[in-house]
Structure formats: C-alpha cells, structure tokens
C-alpha cells in the first residue's frame, strides 16, 4: 500500500460504525461464470471458504427503453459470515461488519480485486465505471436519558414543532454534494440520516445482503442511521481500455478522507464524539 490517509484519526471505544462497503463497478464481463472456479479457488485459500449463487433481476437500458434482465451473482463469505464479497458481471464488492481500520479494509479488498482483474484480464481489457465507498453508522442512546439529537449537528436533526406529538422523531434527511478528490477526479457524496425511518438496523437496500451483525440494536428505541456513500464515476479516460490497478488505491483513499472529514466536521457533534470515546 503506497497511499496514506490525509484526514484525522479519532479512536472511538464505542464505535458507531455498523457496516463498511467498498466497490468497483466495471464494463460488463458477460462470461464471468467461466472464471468462477479459478476465483473461488483463490478466495477459499484466502479466508472466504463459503460460496453461494443466485440469479438477480436488473434493469438495463436499450434502444427501446428499459428492459429487465437476469444475471448471475455470487457471494463469498468468511466462516463467521462477518465479511463477504459480492461478484457479478458488473461489480466486485467487499462488505464487513468487522471493521478495524481503512488501511486493513482496503488491503483486504485489493488482495481480492487484483487477482480478479488479472484472472479475467479485465485489468487489460475492461473499463472502470465507478469506484465507491460507503459507511453506515448506528447512533443509539448510551444511557436511559440520552438524546439522539445530541449526536447530530443541528442541520441533521429534522424539524421541531410544538404541533408534532410523536414520542420520537421520524424522518429521512438527504444531502448530495459534488466533491473534488485529491487525485484530481470528481466525486459525488451522498449523506442520508435515517431517523427511525425504516425500522431496520441498516438501510433497506443493504439489509438482506449484509453480513452477520457484530451487535444488535433496539429498533423500537430512538435511533438514527448515518449513511454516507462517496463515489467516483468514470475515473479514467473513456478512450482507452484497461483498469490501472495501481491508480485505484489513491482514489479510494481520497473517497475515504472526504467521508471522514465530513463526518467529523459536519454530521456529528463534539458531544457525540465524547460519548463514543
């Protein structure tokens, strides 16, 4: 690993992070199934012995409009099922509920991504579509008279009104912003605050495929999810093929550093951080 973070590091003993995901979307690899035996052999020797397969439906643009197609998707998991890989013809994604640091997380991803791109020869013949990094934090009460609002900046707390008679707030707050990555590429950052909104411990689009949770929360109590998704579309010139593996790392670090700084500067409060320390 050659890149280094350019953001703060604040150790939290009561870590709110519940799920981390890192993803590369690429130009379609329609014969991906031909490479699964070799990929599975590599993955089982590197901590992912469990494998499952399913067919999923997705929408695809065509001259006549959107059409629904079915594609094959594989999931590879660690024995305790806290970390998993999702692979199909368009993407390779690593997700974990057992997160230690970004450096260890991205090292593990590249130990999977690099062989995949080499085995399929997509490093030479493919095109990188989107690099993405996503974090979901669970904001829960630390003690009986704790207040979820105290963890969130005022702009993230929803509306207060004497006419609202709910015992607890229920809202979804969304912010979307363009970003300038240190590597020169453009990014887009989405921030969602889900306050008792879906009555699930993770966002609904992640819920069913997420790894085993390391902890459970009381979804009947007041809580909030902080969902931050930072991506970079078409990071390299479209007039050439090949996915330069050695250039991906710098972009992922830039995505991470922006998420980290926005989280500490603009999403959570100093009071909340002190409660998590």
The span from the CA of 203 to the CA of 194, in Å, is: 8
Q: What is the pTM of this model?
A: 0.96
- Confirm whether 1 is domain-assigned: no
- Confirm whether 194 is domain-assigned: yes
pLDDT in single tens digits along all 277 residues of the chain: 678 888 888 889 999 999 999 999 999 999 999 999 999 999 999 999 999 999 999 888 777 778 888 999 999 999 999 999 999 999 999 999 999 999 999 999 999 999 999 999 999 999 999 999 999 999 999 999 999 999 999 999 999 999 998 889 999 999 999 999 976 799 999 999 999 998 999 999 999 999 999 999 999 999 999 999 999 999 998 888 999 999 999 999 999 999 999 999 999 999 999 999 9
Helices 102-119 and 245-262 cross at an angle (nearest 10°) of 150
Q: What tokens appear for 155 in the block?
A: 């702009």
The span from the CA of 169 to the CA of 160, in Å, is: 9
- Confirm whether 9 is domain-assigned: no
The predicted pLDDT at position 9 comes to: 85
- Confirm whether 121 is domain-assigned: yes
Q: Tell me which residue of 231, 230, 216 sits closest to 260, measured CA to CA.
A: 230
- Confirm whether 202 is domain-assigned: yes
- Confirm whether 3 is domain-assigned: no
Q: Can you say how many angstroms the Cα of residue 59 is from the centroid of all Cα atoms in its chain? A: 21
* Number of domains into which the chain is organized: 1
- Confirm whether 7 is domain-assigned: no
Cα separations in angstroms, 268 against 153, 193, 215, 221: 5, 11, 21, 20
Which helix (H) or strand (E) segment holds residue 255: the answer is helix 245-262
The span from the CA of 5 to the CA of 98, in Å, is: 20
The predicted pLDDT at position 8 comes to: 82
For 106, the domain range is 17-276
């Amino acid at each position: 690993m050659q890149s280094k973070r350019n953001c703060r590091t604040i150790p939290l003993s009561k870590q709110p992070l519940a799920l981390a995901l890192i993803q590369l979307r690429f130009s379609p690899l329609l014969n991906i199934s031909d490479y699964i035996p070799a990929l599975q052999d590599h993955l089982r020797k590197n901590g992912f012995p469990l494998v499952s397969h399913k067919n999923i439906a997705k929408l695809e643009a065509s001259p006549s409009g959107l059409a629904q197609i079915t594609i094959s998707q594989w999931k590879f998991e660690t024995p305790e099922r806290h970390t998993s890989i999702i692979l199909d013809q368009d993407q390779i994604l690593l997700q974990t509920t057992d997160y230690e640091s970004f450096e260890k997380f991205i090292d593990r991803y590249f130990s999977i991504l690099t062989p995949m791109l080499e085995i399929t020869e997509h490093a030479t013949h493919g095109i990188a579509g989107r690099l993405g990094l996503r974090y979901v934090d669970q904001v829960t009460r630390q003690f009986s008279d704790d207040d979820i609002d105290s963890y969130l900046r005022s702009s993230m707390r929803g509306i207060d009104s004497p006419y609202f008679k709910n015992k607890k707030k229920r809202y979804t707050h969304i912010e979307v912003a363009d970003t300038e990555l240190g590597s020169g590429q453009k990014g887009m950052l989405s921030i969602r605050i889900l306050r008792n909104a879906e009555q699930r411990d993770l966002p609904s689009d992640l819920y069913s495929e997420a790894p085993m949770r390391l902890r459970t929360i009381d979804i009947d109590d007041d809580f909030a999810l902080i969902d931050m998704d930072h991506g970079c579309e078409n990071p390299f010139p479209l007039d050439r093929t090949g996915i330069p593996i050695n250039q991906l790392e710098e972009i992922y670090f830039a995505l991470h550093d922006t998420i980290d700084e926005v989280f500490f500067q603009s999403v959570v409060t100093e009071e909340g951080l002190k409660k998590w320390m």
